[in-house]
Amino acid sequence: MTVLTLDHLSIAVPAVLCGLVIALPLAVVAHRVRMLRGVILGVSNVLFTIPSLAFFVLLLPVTGLTRSTAITGLTIYTLVVLIRNTVEGLDSVPADAREASLAMGSRPLRTLLTVELPLALPVIMAGVRVATVMTISLVSVASYIGYGGLGQLFTDGFQRSYTTPVIAGVLLTLLLAVLADGLLVTVQYLCTPWTRHRTTAARTKRTGAVPRTKPEEV
Amino acid sequence: MLQLLADLARWLTGPAQWQGPEGIAVRLLEHLEYSLLATLAGAALALPLGLLIGHTRRFAFLAINLAGFGRALPTVGLVTLVFLAGGLSMWPVYVALIALAVPVIVTNTYAGMTAVDPDVTDAARGVGMTGPQVLFKVELPLALPLVMTGLRLAMIQVVSTATIAAYVSFGGLGRYIFDGLAQRDLVQVLGGAVLVALVAVLLDLAMAGLQRSLFRNRPADAR
């Protein structure tokens, strides 16, 4: 069981990390170059519509019956969520912040790394969370090609007509997804101390606005 | 590699391949039948739920958490489980596919409803519309684009996942993938995969076209 869980993670974690490594530069390009934005988002969207099982199978002649087949397929799946959220996050950065940084003499790359990306982090992390939960659930599909982590429990239970491993597999996958999600929330909380203050401020503002006073009532 | 592609092309275009009860045409129709039925059933369950949650703003946590749960639930495990519990029937497939479709539709319907400007619904109430009137004449039309996005996402996921029907010995395009894997016939596996991918991409494009023509008269910001 421990082996299968570790196996599961050894497919899911590299997939999300590779996805991030590929998605971040692409998202920056999509954010800066308007013409390429449609192309990048469109291509990642089409790739996402391809069924996961079909994807693993289509990769077989290229990567062979190895663990990298599963990782490659899942990486491509994470791209659509990661790219879209990173672009949205970068879009949400106030132009003032970027311009202030540039005016203070930072080069564009430095501005990107120290101002834009950190400010976009909450939205990017939302994407990472979705991608992680989705990937953890999808790893089990790779059990058809022999690398499914906890998904092996499904094939095992199916072949032996025995429900216990299947239930265990489903529950463990759900548990793993919840734990990973919680971990990411914590990481985000620790990495973006400035949002904590702002969320409380926004919350009080929002509750303050609940009995919406219309002009004619004032 | 080239040889493989040539074999694949021959497999996909061979006339014998398209005829008979094992042929591509039959499998294609089976696949569409499973997918469309499951999506419709999913929509029939999820749309009222999403509308109700969006309209009353109650149980919003349900709509939000359902999405995460739906994403985390391994479909393969679900099919296997229902199959082992319920025996050989189409039930496991439909249960799993509907379980896949419902969260996406509920969440998107709810998101669409909450995106409606509260001033608009207040105005509708102000001119004397009843609750159902506000829902069907104001909120639903305004939320429709996001509702459609939810239906599209659900449809694509269901089409992709309908391959598992073959896992519990039913038809559909997944048949080629599973049979091919069992027989170590890579060309057949690839053929099945290409067909499923094509169906998914084409259906998504068709739904996008439908969506565009439905909302053609809308101002750009409502899309």
**Cβ neighbours of A58 in B, within 8 Å:** 190, 193-194, 197
Instruction: Determine the pLDDT at residue B218.
Output: 62
What percent of chain B lies above the pLDDT cut of 70?
A: 97
What is the mean pLDDT of the segment spanning B101-116? 86
How many structural domains comprise chain B?
1
Contact B74 A154 (CB under 8 A): yes
**Within a domain: B220:** no
**Cβ neighbours of A210 in B, within 8 Å:** none
**Within a domain: B191:** no
**Within a domain: B211:** no
Instruction: Determine the pLDDT at residue A213.
Output: 27
Q: What is the DSSP string of B144-195?
A: HHHHHHHHHHHHHHHHHHGGGGTTTT--STHHHHHHHHHHT-HHHHHHHHHH
**Within a domain: B109:** yes
What is the mean pLDDT of the segment spanning B24-43? 90
Instruction: Determine the pLDDT at residue A152.
Output: 83
Which ipTM did the prediction report? 0.70
Token pair of B57, please?
């703003």
**Within a domain: B7:** no
**Cβ neighbours of A134 in B, within 8 Å:** 71-72
Q: Nearest-CA neighbor of A117 among A96, A98, A99, A103?
A: A98
CA–CA separation, B220 vs B223, rounded Å?
6
**Cβ neighbours of A50 in B, within 8 Å:** 160, 197, 200-201
B215 versus B33: the higher-pLDDT residue is B33
Instruction: Determine the pLDDT at residue B217.
Output: 64
Q: Are A133 and A69 in contact, with CB atoms under 8 Å apart?
A: no
Contact A137 B159 (CB under 8 A): no
Q: Are A165 and A153 in contact, with CB atoms under 8 Å apart?
A: yes
The amino acid at B122: D
**Within a domain: B144:** yes
In angstroms, what separates the C-alpha of B97 from chain A's closest C-alpha? 14
The reply to whether B35 touches chain A by the CB within 8 Å rule is: no
The CATH number for B47's domain is 1.10.3720.10
Contact A169 B77 (CB under 8 A): yes
Instruction: Determine the pLDDT at residue A215.
Output: 32
The reply to whether B83 touches chain A by the CB within 8 Å rule is: yes
Tell me the residues of A at the B interface, defined by beta carbons under 8 Å apart.
46, 49-55, 57-58, 60-61, 130, 133-134, 136-138, 140-141, 143-145, 150-151, 153-155, 157-158, 161-163, 166-167, 169-170, 173-174, 177-178, 181, 212, 214
B19 versus B204: the higher-pLDDT residue is B204
Instruction: Locate the chain A residue with the closest alpha carbon to B4.
Output: A61
Instruction: Locate the chain B residue with the closest alpha carbon to A141.
Output: B76
Contact A170 B1 (CB under 8 A): no
B210 versus B70: the higher-pLDDT residue is B210
**Cβ neighbours of B4 in A, within 8 Å:** 61
CA–CA separation, B204 vs B15, rounded Å?
27
The model's pLDDT over B143-188, given as tens digits with 9 standing for 90+, comes to 888 888 888 888 888 888 888 888 777 888 888 888 887 887 888 8
SS3 A105: coil
Instruction: Determine the pLDDT at residue A211.
Output: 30
Q: How far is CA B126 from the centre of its chain?
A: 38
B220 versus B16: the higher-pLDDT residue is B16
What is the mean pLDDT of the segment spanning B25-52? 91
CA–CA separation, B161 vs B155, rounded Å?
10
Instruction: Determine the pLDDT at residue A16.
Output: 92
The angle at the Cα of B145, spanning B144 to B150, to the nearest 5 degrees, equals 90
In angstroms, what separates the C-alpha of A31 from chain B's closest C-alpha? 20
CATH architecture, domain defined by A1-193:
Orthogonal Bundle (1.10)
**Cβ neighbours of A144 in B, within 8 Å:** 177-178, 181
In angstroms, what separates the C-alpha of A175 from chain B's closest C-alpha? 9
> Within chain A, which residues score under 70 in pLDDT?
197-218
The amino acid at B158: V
**Within a domain: B5:** no
Which residues span the domain enclosing B46?
Answer: 24-172
**Within a domain: B193:** no
Query: For residue A160, what is the DSSP state?
Result: T
User: What global pTM score does this model have?
Assistant: 0.77
Q: What is the DSSP string of B101-126?
A: HHHHHHHHHHHHHHTS-HHHHHHHHH
Of the residues B11, B76, B83, B178, the best mutation for testing chain A's interface (the one with the most A CB atoms within 10 Å of its CB) is B76
Instruction: Locate the chain B residue with the closest alpha carbon to A170.
Output: B77
Contact A61 B4 (CB under 8 A): yes
